[in-house]
């Protein structure tokens, strides 16, 4: 039922939200993929199960129990069963949502650690390159494709007579 509204071409534009992904790019997602949509899904599932439970158990107790005192006991039992079943339902729906959040947090942390490692590796390589460049007695310089100087060694700085920042 809910997936019909999320994918129905007539209502699909209504059931989409404009969000930003981790890189900040705009992303159109199904309403039921958002935090609000997932919360609505949990509430709707709870509501549908509750309505169905009340309707069917009331019809069953009216058909099975004729005496009012038995109906009263049956009503208490079905009420307690409802609380137990819906507590399990809410637990399971919340567990799934929380697991998705925790999995996403774990993936983000893993990506952050990987990024830190790559950043450190890049920094180490830059230091090695600078050390090698400085240890070469010849004139060393490098430019970008537009011809702008990006760096040089001390021998080139001495040769030009200008500070490296001005080269």
pLDDT at 24: 59
Q: With a threshold of 0.85, does the pTM exceed it?
A: no
The phi and psi torsions of 163 (rounded to 5 degrees) equal -65, 150
pLDDT at 109: 96
Please write the tens of the pLDDT for every residue from 131-141.
Answer: 998 999 999 99
- Count of CB atoms situated within 10 Å of the CB of 156: 20
pLDDT at 107: 95
Please write the tens of the pLDDT for every residue from 96-131.
Answer: 889 988 999 999 999 999 999 999 999 999 999 889
The answer, yes or no, to whether residue 35 has pLDDT greater than 60, is yes
Instruction: List b or e across 7-22, with b for residues whose CB sees 16 or more CB atoms inside 10 angstroms.
Output: eeeeeeeebeeeeeee
pLDDT at 19: 52
Q: Which residue has the higher pLDDT, 113 or 7?
A: 113
The answer, yes or no, to whether residue 79 has pLDDT greater than 60, is yes
The answer, yes or no, to whether residue 23 has pLDDT greater than 50, is yes
């Amino acid at each position: 039922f809910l997936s019909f509204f999320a994918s129905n071409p007539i209502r699909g534009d209504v059931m989409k939200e404009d969000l930003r992904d981790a890189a900040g790019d705009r992303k159109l997602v199904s309403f039921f993929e958002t935090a609000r949509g997932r919360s609505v899904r949990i509430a709707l599932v709870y509501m549908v199960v509750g309505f169905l439970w009340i309707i069917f158990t009331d019809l069953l107790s009216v058909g099975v129990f004729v005496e009012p005192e038995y109906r009263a006991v049956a009503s208490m039992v079905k009420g307690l069963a409802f609380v137990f079943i819906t507590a399990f339902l809410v637990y399971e729906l919340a567990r799934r949502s929380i697991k998705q959040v925790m999995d996403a947090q774990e993936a983000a942390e893993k990506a952050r650690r990987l990024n830190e490692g790559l950043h450190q590796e890049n920094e180490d390589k830059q230091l090695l390159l600078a050390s090698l460049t400085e240890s070469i007695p010849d004139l060393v310089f490098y430019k970008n494709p537009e011809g702008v100087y990006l760096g040089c060694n001390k021998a080139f700085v001495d040769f030009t007579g200008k500070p490296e920042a001005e080269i």
